[in-house]
Amino acid sequence: MTHRDVSQHRAGILLLVLALFLAACSPETDDRPARIEDPWIRLAPPNAGMLAGYLVLENPGARPLELVAVSSPDFASVEVHRTEIVDGVARMIAEPALTVPPGGHAVFEPGGRHLMLHGPTRPFGEGERVALEFRFADGAQLAFEAPLRRGPDGGHHHDH
């Protein structure tokens, strides 16, 4: 082989290795699973029939992420709702399907989008954790736990 042939041969191997490397990696970058950041449920009075849950749902994948169902063994039902305030009047809008774009995220926060947890099956204390499961349109499921907290403005632990 001439010197040039060797160079071409080496370049060919390098390309092949690179191609194999990309082939091995790309399905993972496409299918990186959904993530939940900082989930919490607002601690409510013992007779509250409804609680609200907050979190950030991240979609690091390459395809849109469509949340189609939420469930918890500790509640009769869980729905995604959004609080809207129009002319000072607060109303709740159901969001039966929520789509998070590739690389995007959906914020669930007080006064905005939230999980509406209806019909608790047991009383909850501060710091207890609630099991939740998200189901997506592609059939994927994501189980996580959310602690019960008083919330950012919760008066009892406010420092001065």
What size, in residues, is the chain? 160
Q: Which of 80, 114, 136, 146 binds other proteins (CB under 8 A)?
A: 114
Measured from the CB atom, the residue of 27 and 123 that comes closer to other proteins is 123
Interface with other proteins (CB under 8 A), residue total 34
Q: How far is the CB of 51 from other proteins (least distance, A)?
A: 6
User: Between residues 24 and 86, which has the closer beta carbon with respect to other proteins?
Assistant: 86
**CA distances (Å), origin 135, targets 15, 38, 47, 73, 78:** 40, 18, 29, 14, 12
Alpha carbons 115 and 133: distance in angstroms, whole number: 12
Distance from the Cα of residue 12 to its chain's centroid: 43
Q: Hey, which residues between 28 and 47 contact other proteins (CB under 8 A)?
A: 42, 44-47
Binding range to other proteins, per CB under 8 A, among 10-18, 24-32, 124-132, 151-159: 151-159
135 touches other proteins (CB under 8 A): no
- Report how far residue 43's alpha carbon sits from residue 51's, in angstroms, rounded to the nearest whole number: 7
Q: What are the CA-CA distances from residue 120 to residues 44, 63, 114 (Å)? A: 11, 34, 16
Residues 41-100 that bind other proteins (CB under 8 A): 42, 44-52, 81, 83, 85, 87-92
Tell me the two tokens of residue 8.
């071409």
Residues contributing to the site for other proteins (CB under 8 A)? 42, 44-52, 81, 83, 85, 87-92, 110-111, 114, 116-118, 150-156, 158, 160
